[in-house]
Chains A and B, each alone.
Chain A
Amino acid sequence: MSLGSVPLKYKISIDRDQCMKCMRCVDNCSYGVYRIEDDRIIIDSRKCTACHRCISMCPRDAIMLKERPVDYRSHPLWTVEAREDVINQARTGKIILAGMGNAVDYPIIFDRLVLDACQVTNPSIDPLREPMELRTYIGKKPSKLEFTKNNGDIELTTKLTPNLKLDTPIMVGHMSYGAISLPAQLSIAKAVAKTGTFMGTGEGGMHEAIYPYQDHSIVQIASGRFGVDIDYLERGAAIEIKVGQGAKPGIGGHLPGEKVCADVSCTRMIPLGSDAISPAPHHDIYSIEDLAQLVRSLKEATDWEKPVFVKIAAVHNVAAIAAGIARSDADAVVIDGFKGGTGAAPKVFRDNVGIPIEAAIAAVDQKLNDQGIRNEVSIIASGGIRNSGDLAKSIALGADAIYIGTAALIALGCRVCGNCYRGLCPWGIATQKPELVERIDPEVGAQNVANLIHGWTLELSELMGAAGLNSIESLRGNRERLRGYMLDQGLLDVLKVESVGA
C-alpha cells in the first residue's frame, strides 16, 4: 500500500481583488508554486518553501503565506517532523538532506547571557566623541617582547609574523563558488573590501572576478583540494585548512554535479557536471603531527608570508583539539558551532552532532589560557551568530573575531527557507542557474552586506562604550562583562561566567 504524501507545510493564497496579474510571482518562483492557466494564476502550495521571493516581488502585496495548521493528532514525542521524516524515509530509503543551520529548538546560550553597562562609578564612553578601537589582528603573537638596550635606546628584536589586520572583528565565513553563485560571492568580496575585513573563498577555488579583492580573501583547503594550486595560495591574504564544519562535523562536503557549470568546473579544476566530493578526512592528515606538517608546508610554499588557519567543528573535546592546533604553527583556530549553516547536510548531522559555539569558544579560550598560550594564537568563532549582541558575547567569551555566514546571506536576500541543497534558490544565492543568478546585482548586494557589517560595528562600539571599554583587546575574554541568566551551574562553570546578581 502506498504511504501517499505528507501534508503541505505552507498555504499560499492570493487576494484576487488586489492582484493585477503582473505575473511577477510566476516569474520569480523557481520552485514552481505558480503557473498560468486560462489567464488565471494557479497556486500549488505544496511546492512552497516559504522563501518569500514572490511576496517581496508582488507590487500589490496580494500574496499571503501561512504555515499550515498541524492536521495530525498532536503528540509530544511524535512531532509532525518526526512522523514526516519516517514517512519520507520509509518511502525513499535515503538520507534526509537539509540546508541552512540546525533547526532543533535547543536553548540559545547567547540569549541567556547578558552584557554589562556602566553606571555612576565608571563612566560609559560615547563612541561618537571618543576613540573606539575595534582594530583586530589575526595571527600568531609573541609570548613576550624581546629587545636589546643600547645606551638607553631600546632596539626591538621581536619580529612579528604576518597577521591579518581587520578594521572590525567581523569576517564573512567560507561559502564556496559552487555552493553560492558568483554574484553572491562577488557581493561579499566587495563588501569586505569596503569594510576593511575579510571573506573566505570556501573550498571552491578563486574565480577571476574575485581577484581584485584577493587581498581581502582567505583561501580554503578542504580534503578535496579543489581549485588549489600555488597561484591560488599566493592570491589569498591567508590560508585556511578546513578540517570540520559546524553543520556537519565528521563528514565532508558534496557539491552536486548539477551545480558544476562551466565556470565552477574551471574554478574548481574539476570536470564539468561532475560531483565534487570533499570527504571528511584529509588523506594526508591522520594525526596532529600530519596537520602540523601541512600547516608548515603551506607556509613554506608561500614563503612564510601568510597566516594559516585551521577550521574545526565544535565537538565534545574541542578545547584539547584546539590546543593541539595552536601548537602546530597554525596562526588561528576557527571553531564552527553546531548552529552553523551549510548548503546541504544530512539532517541527522545538522540537528544532532556537535556543540554550541558559545560553550566551545569559552572552553577553547580557557584551555589555551591555562596553557599560557592564549595570546599567541587567534580564535575565530562562527556558527549561528545572528547580531551584534552575539558578536560582543562571542568576544567576551574569548573569540578574537567572528565569521558570519547565514547573516551575510540574509543581507543578500536569503529568507532561510532551508532548501539550498536543491540548487533552485529563488534569490540567486545558492544556485548556479543563470536565470536565477542574475537576480543579484553585486553592487547592491555588496552595499547590503557592507551595511550589515557597518551596522554591527557601530553597535559593537556602543556596547563597548556602555561597558566602559574603548579597545577590543579589553573585551576579549572579559567574562566580568557577562552574566548568565537562567543557565545551569555546569554550563556557567564551562563558560566561566557568573550568574546574574553575582
Chain B
Amino acid sequence: MCGIIGVIDRTMSRMDGSSIKEALSLMDERGSGEGAGYVAYGIYPDYADCYAIHVFFDNLLEPKTRVDEILKQWGRIVHQEEIPTYEQPGLKKEHISWRYFFKPYTDLMIGTTDPDDDNVKHLVMHVNANIEGALIFSSGKNLGVFKAAGWPEDVANYFRIEDYKGYIWLAHNRYPTNTSGWWGGAHPFNLLDWSVVHNGEITSYGTNRRYVEGHGYQCTMLTDTEVVAYLFDLLGRRHGLPSEMVVEALAPPFWDEIDKMPPKEEEFMRTMRLTYGPALMNGPFAIVVATKDGIVGFTDRIKLRPLIVGENGSKLYLSSEEAAIRTMDPEVEKIYMPRAGEPVIGRVTE
C-alpha cells in the first residue's frame, strides 16, 4: 500500500500546499494513520543559500545543546527557530520540530570536490547515528520536509503546509508493514537536495544498505526507503550520474534486453550493471525522487506498484492514483502509465 503524489512546475512557479494535502487525503485508504509527510522546494527564498536543517528533538535540553555545538563546530548557524506547528486532535505530538539555516565552513572538509555538501552529509550521518533524541530529517537548500506519524490531513494541518509555497511538492501517505510507524520513519526521506517518497518494499534493502554503508552512509531511520536517498546522493551527486542514469542503475533492463541492444548500448548497460550491481533495487516499488532541478519517478522492473503520470502545461504530476492527480488539478490533460523501470522526468526549464 502507501500513496504517493508529486508535482513539479517546470517554470518554477510556486504552488501552496493546499491542493497536495487534498490529493494525499484522497488516498487515505492507502495509509493507516501512522505516517504522512510533505516536502516542498523553493520554500525558503530568504535563506536560499543556507542549508535548511530540520530536526526532530525529543527535548530542547541535551540533544539540542549537542546539535548546536556540533553545528557551530562545522559551520555558522545563520538563523534557527522552532518550526511552527498547530495542535491537532488526531495527532499526538511526539517531537519538537526545529529548523536551522546553516552555512558550513568550506575549508573543514578537505579532499573533496563538493566540500559543503559533504560537510552537511557528514553532520546528518553523525547526528542521526550518535546523538540520542535528535534526528535530522531534512537538510537541503531552500527546501523542507514536514512529516509525522498521523493521517495526511492531520500532518498537513499540524505543519499548516498551505502556508508554504514551492515549485516541487512530494507527499506520502504511509501504511507501514515492515517496520513500525514513527515520525522518523514517515516519508519523504531526505538528504541534502534529494527527497524520496516510495510505495512498496525494497527486498534488496540488505544489499543496498550494505553498499551505501561501505561508502560512508549510515542508515538510522529503521526503514528501507532512506537507502534510496543515499543511493541517489552517492550515484547522482558524488559519481555525477544524471538522474536517468541513476534510475538505469537502480532499475536496469533485464539481461535478455541488454543482450539484444546494439553493441555500444549493450556495453554501456553491461558496464552499468557490473559497476552498480549492489545499487540495483528489487522488490515492489514506485518511487518519486526530487532534487532542486526536477523530479524523477520510476517503478520496479516488473511494475508491482502503480505509478500514474499527468501533465498540464508546465506541471507534471506523478501519483499512485489518477484520482489524486485529478483532485489536485481537475484540468489535467495527459494521463498515462509509464512502463516498468522507465523513468519519468520533469525538469525545471529556468
Residue ranges of A at the interface with B (Cβ–Cβ < 8 Å): 118, 120-123, 125, 130-131, 133, 135, 137, 141-145, 154, 156, 158, 160, 163, 369-375, 396, 467-471, 473-481
Contacts and interface: CB of A to CB of B under 8 A. Distances in A.
A469 B203 contact: yes
Interface string B168-181: 00000000011000
Contacts of A471: 204, 280, 282
A476 B277 contact: yes
Contacts of B205: 478, 480
B301 A144 contact: no
A122 B214 contact: no
Interface string B280-297: 111110000000000000
B271 A145 contact: yes
Contact of B271 (A123, A125, A130, A142): A142
Contacts of A481: 203, 206
B304 interface: yes
B213 interface: yes
17 contacts: A120-B177, A122-B201, A122-B203, A130-B302, A145-B245, A160-B270, A163-B274, A374-B211, A374-B278, A375-B275, A468-B284, A473-B204, A473-B280, A474-B204, A476-B278, A477-B207, A480-B205
Contacts of B245: 145, 154
A473 B207 CA distance: 8
B239 interface: yes
A145 B214 contact: no
Contacts of B255: 133, 135
Contact of A123 (B213, B276, B304): B304
Contact of A468 (B201, B210, B215): B201
Contacts of A131: 254, 256, 302
Contacts of B210: 369, 374, 477-479
A154 B264 CA distance: 11
Contact of B214 (A374, A396, A468): A374
Contact of B203 (A142, A163, A468): A468
B214 A372 contact: yes
Contacts of B281: 474
Contacts of B270: 160
Interface residues of B, number: 44
A474 B207 contact: yes
Given A121-B201, A123-B304, A480-B206, 4 more contacts: A144-B275, A474-B282, A475-B207, A477-B278
Interface string B316-329: 00000000000000
Given A145-B241, A154-B245, A476-B277, A370 B214 contact: yes
Q: What DSSP secondary structure best describes chain A's contact surface?
A: loop
B348 interface: no
Interface in B229-245: 239, 241-242, 245
Nearest to A372: B214
B267 A156 contact: yes
B204 A469 contact: yes
Contacts of A137: 274
A183 B173 CA distance: 63
A375 B271 CA distance: 13
Contacts of B109: none
Contact of A121 (B177, B256, B302): B177
A464 to B, nearest CB: 9
A478 B204 contact: yes
8 closest cross-chain pairs (CB), A and B: A480-B206, A474-B204, A478-B206, A474-B282, A473-B277, A468-B203, A121-B177, A369-B214
A369 B207 contact: no
A135 B269 CA distance: 14
A98 to B, nearest CB: 38
B213 to A, nearest CB: 7
B96 interface: no
Contacts of A469: 203-204, 282-283
A478 B1 CA distance: 24
A291 B245 CA distance: 38
B207 A141 contact: no
